[in-house]
Amino acid sequence: MRGSFEMAAESRTESLAGIREFILSSTEGSALDRRERFRLMMAVDEAATNIIMYSGSVGIKIECRIYRDRAVVLLRDRGVAFNPLEAPAPEVDRPLEEREVGGLGIFFVRNLTDGAEYRREGDENLLTLTVRHRGGGA
């Protein structure tokens, strides 16, 4: 591993800007290119937004681990047990007015990352997101 960075944030929408900055600064100088770093930042932003809006947690702990070819982010909260990856995929092919409300955040998380895993450990939700360096890019 090349580095590990941690932060704690309150479960408030005002914390999202700091979380985004944390991800970008933690991945600066890593193998991830600009697009890969942006994908990771957006996925973490969506996941953190879900935690803030729905978990009932008072805080989020975030760890960003930098490896030679990837970045792995662990989001930890003590909210109600909820596996966001089990949420049904939104019907993005249907017209907007015919769709159910919600589900797009997790859809984005799934599509922006190269891996997403959830587990419940004791009284904590743990969501792990991975973005790999794909070798080209900007």
Residue 137 is assigned to a structural domain of this protein: no
Percent of the chain residues topping a pLDDT of 70: 87
CATH number of the domain residue 115 falls in: 3.30.565.10
Task: Give the range of the structural domain holding residue 96, as residue numbers without chain letter.
Answer: 3-132
Question: In this predicted model, which residue has the larger pLDDT, 131 or 134?
Answer: 131
137, pLDDT greater than 60: no
Closest CA relative to residue 67, chosen from 117, 116, 131: 131
pLDDT, tens only, 17-76: 999 999 999 999 999 999 999 999 999 999 999 999 888 888 999 999 999 999 999 999
Residue 55 is assigned to a structural domain of this protein: yes
Residue 138 is assigned to a structural domain of this protein: no
Residue 62 is assigned to a structural domain of this protein: yes
Closest CA relative to residue 130, chosen from 114, 112, 109, 111: 114
pLDDT, tens only, 85-113: 887 776 667 676 665 655 677 888 999 99
How high is the mean pLDDT of the chain?
90
Q: Which amino acid is at 80?
A: V
Residue 54 is assigned to a structural domain of this protein: yes
8, pLDDT greater than 70: yes
Residue 34 is assigned to a structural domain of this protein: yes
Alpha-carbon gap, residue 86 to 35, rounded angstroms: 27
> How many domains would you assign to the chain?
1
* Spatial CB neighbours of 33, under 8 Å, sequence gap ≥ 6: 133, 136, 137, 138
Question: In whole angstroms, what separates CA 79 from the centre of its chain?
Answer: 16
